[in-house]
Amino acid sequence: MVLRALGLGDLLAGVPALRALRRGFPGHELVLAAPAGLAPVAGATGAVDRVLPASAPGRAVPRSLDWTGPPPDVAVDLHGNGPPSHRLLSGLAPARLLAFAHPGTPEIEGPTWCAEEHERDRWCRLLRWYGVDADPTDLLLPPPDTASPAPGAVLLHPGAGAPARRWPVERYAAVATALRARGLRVVVTGGADEGDPVARLAERARLPDTDVFGGGPPFDRLSALVAGARAVVSGDTGIAHLAVAHAVPTVTLFGPVPPRRWGPPAHPRHIALWYGPEGDPHGRRPDPALLRITPDDVLDALGRLPAARRPGEEGAP
């Protein structure tokens, strides 16, 4: 039983740890406690056998898990580092519980939590402490079965989970307008609750309806859009992680949280823009550091990106 009841980007950042668990416990069924809507993503990792629906507002810990099976042989906390998530899993009476140490749950022996650690590295270090070999670079997803409805387009995604991480729509529109003037196709995507920024961006940039993919496209369609893109421009949010997982060039805009904790892996096809300083990731307005990034910065970064290559092709990892 693995607890990671968070969002799309969180799940994708946890892929190396999930695959490590799959290899480390080959005879076990790997059940992931996560939001039901992420089941297709979990399936694409090749590591998860099934998803146990679990969620909570924001980044909170679910109050309970609807688990009716026997006590798990192994429970793994990939959700947090404190008593709420520890006790949720302890309540299932697992034979072993793998988690970070915390003074509030002294019965759990585990490694020390490091707040400055990158998310992918953190969970791999946790597993290595318990003797499970884990590779934080093992994060690529297989190519989607669905063809992209907009192959070769530059994909802009103006949404993010918190206002502090949302670059202004008018700046995305300026980027879109400049790219279209150069003869490039531009498409915009958005989640189910991001209709307003998607509509405003499309209107400002005069995008045709065929290039607007709002309303939270199903994962197979979104994955195909991302995998077939020329590049993806977004804030620090789930679609940036999806682009990394498909080896697609990215320009990711960071504001309150520095890329050293959530950014893409070091590779020429990924450019993280961040001018600092750190701020409040839960702020109600765009972070001042994020606002220091200009449309010209983004256009310059796009110009420095290499062409996308699929894993296995010449020059790809």
Closest Cα partner for 180 from 145, 204, 148, 214?
A: 204
Mean pLDDT in residue range 255-267: 95
May I ask the CATH architecture of the domain 154-303? 3-Layer(aba) Sandwich (3.40)
CB 221 within 8 A of CB 146: yes
The helix (H) or strand (E) run that includes residue 283 is: none
| pLDDT per position as a tens digit, 26-64 | 999 999 999 999 999 999 999 999 999 999 998 899 999
CA distance 43 to 86: 25
Q: Tell me, what's the pLDDT at 26? A: 95
User: Which two tokens mark 2?
Assistant: 């693995």
pTM: 0.94
| pLDDT per position as a tens digit, 182-222 | 999 999 999 998 999 999 999 999 999 999 999 999 999 99
CB 59 within 8 A of CB 42: no
| pLDDT per position as a tens digit, 110-157 | 999 999 999 999 999 999 999 999 999 999 999 999 999 999 999 999
- Cα 175 to chain centroid distance, Å, stands at 23
Q: Tell me, what's the pLDDT at 135? A: 98
Q: Do domains 2-129 and 154-303 have the same CATH topology?
A: yes
CATH topology of domain 2-129: Rossmann fold (3.40.50)
Mode of pairing for the β-strands spanning 250-253 and 270-273 = parallel
CB 211 within 8 A of CB 186: yes
User: Which two tokens mark 76?
Assistant: 């793994």
The full set of domain ranges for the chain reads: 2-129, 154-303
Q: How confident is the model at residue 309 (pLDDT cuts 50, 70, 90)?
A: very low
Percent of all residues in the chain with a pLDDT value above 90, rounded to a whole number: 93
Q: Tell me, what's the pLDDT at 58? A: 86
Q: How many CA atoms lie within 13 A of 3 on its CB side?
A: 34
Q: Would you say residue 311 has pLDDT above 70?
A: no
